[in-house]
Amino acid sequence: MRSFDLSPLFRTTVGFDRMARALDTLSDEPTNSFPPYNIESTGEDAYRITMAVAGFGENDIDITAQDATLVVSGRIDRSGEAEERKFLHRGIAERAFERRFNLAEHVVVTNAALENGLLHIDLVREVPEEKKPKKIAISGNAKVLENQAA
C-alpha cells in the first residue's frame, strides 16, 4: 500500500495542499544511496547538508536551487585525458549522480564549499518580516467612551 487518502485531514485546513503534494512525491523518491550524505541542524534556523563526493572537483559539481528544490549533481569529464587508466582495484566510484532535496518555505542556500572530498551546503530559513507573527492590538468602545466623557 503506497497511497494514503489524506482528504479527511484537509477538511478543516486551508492552504495545506502543498503538504499533500510533498507527501506524494516522497513515496515516489528513488532509493539511490550514492553519494552518501548527512543533514544536520547547525542552529535554530540553520542547516547543513554534507555529501561525500570523493574524486569530484569544484568544476565537476553543479548546485541548483529552484522553487522548493535543491538539486546537486556531479559528473566527471574524462574526455581530455590522453590515455586510458588501468585499475588494479577501483573503490572510488566517480560515477555521475543527481541528488534532490525538498526545501521548506523560506529556506535558502547561503554557502557551498568543497573540503577534503566533502561537499558542505549551508542553508538558512529566512522568514520575511511580513510573514512573521504580528501582535494585533484590540480596540474597544471603552477608550472611545473615556474620550467622550472628558
Domain membership flag for residue 57: yes
- Average pLDDT on 36-61 reads 91
pLDDT given for residue 145 in this prediction? 47
- Compare 122 and 32 and report the one with higher pLDDT: 122
Q: What is the CATH number for 46?
A: 2.60.40.790
- Compare 30 and 38 and report the one with higher pLDDT: 38
> Can you say whether residue 55 is alpha, beta or left, with left for phi > 0 and alpha for psi between -120 and 50 degrees?
left
Domain membership flag for residue 65: yes
* Containing structural domain, residue 50: 35-79+87-127
Beta strands in 29-142 (DSSP E): 37-43, 46-52, 61-66, 69-74, 97-102, 107-115, 118-125
Band of pLDDT at residue 55, cut at 50, 70 and 90: confident
pTM as predicted: 0.67
- Compare 76 and 21 and report the one with higher pLDDT: 76
Domain membership flag for residue 10: no
Contact 137, 114 (CB under 8 A): no
Domain membership flag for residue 140: no
Q: Work out how many domains the chain is built from and give that number.
A: 1
Domain membership flag for residue 96: yes
Q: Which residues pair with 49 in a beta bridge?
A: 39, 121
Q: Which distant-in-sequence residues (6+ apart) come within 8 Å of 126 by Cβ? A: 45, 106, 107, 108
pLDDT digit string (tens) for 107-150? Answer: 899 999 999 999 999 999 888 888 778 888 888 765 544 555 55
> Can you say whether residue 29 is alpha, beta or left, with left for phi > 0 and alpha for psi between -120 and 50 degrees?
beta
Contact 50, 58 (CB under 8 A): no
Domain membership flag for residue 18: no
Domain membership flag for residue 72: yes
Domain membership flag for residue 40: yes
